Amino acid sequence: MMLLTEESMSWHTSFHIGGAADYYAKVSDVDDLAQAMFFAGTRGIPVFVLGNGSNILVSDKGIRGMVIENRLQNVCISPDGQVRAASGVPLAGLARFASRHGLAGLEWAAGIPGTLGGAIVANAGAFGSCIGNVLIWAGVLSEECTELVLCKEDLGFGYRTSIFKASEARNEPAIILEAELVLQPAPQAAVETRLKEFAARRRQTQPAGPNAGSIFKNPPGDYAGRLIEAAGLKGYRIGDAQISPKHADFMVNRGNARASDVAGLIDLTRVQVKDRFGIWLDLEIELVGEWH
C-alpha cells in the first residue's frame, strides 16, 4: 500500500478540481485494501473509495479522512464463459476486452471514463443500457473486512443508483472487489463495429477537456441538457467553469476552475430550470469532501 498525506485531489479527478485529502492510499490487491481499511478503522476516520475520479466534484476544502484509490485490475473469462473483472478495471477497457473475445452487451460503455466499481455504485449507463442489466453478482469487502458475494437482486439497482449509494451516505463503506457480467457470444467483427459506433457517438455529442460527465440526471420523460439549453444557459460561465457549448448537461473546466465555480453553476442551473419549467434537477455527479 502506498500512503500519502495532504494529496491534492485535482490530480486524481477528471475535472482537475479539488482540495487535499488528509490521507491517500493506492491499493492494487485485496491485502492492500484491507490494510488501508484497518488504518482508517483504527483511527476512526471516514473512507472514500476512488475509481477514475470521473463522476465527482471534490470540494476546494478537500476531503477529511482517507481516500482509497482502487487499482484492482484482474480480468478473465470465467469457467461459464462470462467476463469476470476486478472493480478497478476501466469500464471502457472492459468493453474492449469483451469485444475482442466476441462477447456482446457492453458496447454502450465504449468511451465511459469510469471503472467497473464506480459503474456498479452509480448503475452507470448509456444509450438505453446500464451495468445493472448485465451484472450477475458482485463481490464486496464489508466495513468489517469480510468478503461477501451479492447477487444482482441484492444490489438495489435503479436509475443511476444502487445500495452502495445509501451505504456511502451513511458512511458504511462496502467496497466492491469484483463482479461477473452476463454477455452474449457474437461475431467479433460485429461487436467491435458496434463498440466503435458508440464511441464515435460519444465523441460527436460530448465535450472534450476536463469534465465530470453528465452533471444532472435526466428527469422522467425529458433530458436535462434540453431543459438547460432551453433556459438559455448553454455556454454560461462562472470563473473558469462553463456549461458546455456542445452539450448543456456537461460543465467543463476551462483551465483554472474551482469547485465553488462549478457549484455556483449547479445552483444557478437548478434555480433557472425550476423557475422556467417547474422541474428540480437531481445531481448525477457526487459532491465529495467538505462542503458545509
Q: Residue 46 is placed in which grid cell?
A: 471516514
Work out the burial of residue 205: count CB atoms within 10 Å of its CB; fewer than 13 is exposed, 13-18 middle, 19 or more buried. exposed
Which of 160, 162, 178, 180 does the annotation list as catalytic?
A: 160
Which of these, 290, 284, 204, lies nearest to 251 by C-alpha position? 284
Helices 188-205, 91-100: crossing angle, 10 deg rounding: 150
If one counts every other C-beta atom within 10 angstroms of the C-beta of residue 204, the result is 8
What span, in angstroms and rounded, lies between the C-alpha atoms of 201 and 282?
25
Q: Are 68 and 177 in contact (CB under 8 A)?
A: no
Catalytic (active site) residue 197 = no
Q: Residue 143 is placed in which grid cell?
A: 466495513
Work out the burial of residue 141: count CB atoms within 10 Å of its CB; fewer than 13 is exposed, 13-18 middle, 19 or more buried. buried
Q: Are 183 and 84 in contact (CB under 8 A)?
A: no
Catalytic (active site) residue 142 = no
Catalytic (active site) residue 84 = no
Which of 99, 162, 214, 244 does the annotation list as catalytic?
A: 214
3-state SS record for 93-124: HHHHHHHHCCEECCHHHCCCCCEHHHHHHHCC
Q: Residue 243 is placed in which grid cell?
A: 456549461
- Structural element, H or E, at residue 38: helix 30-43
Q: Which residues are catalytic, by number?
A: 160, 214, 284
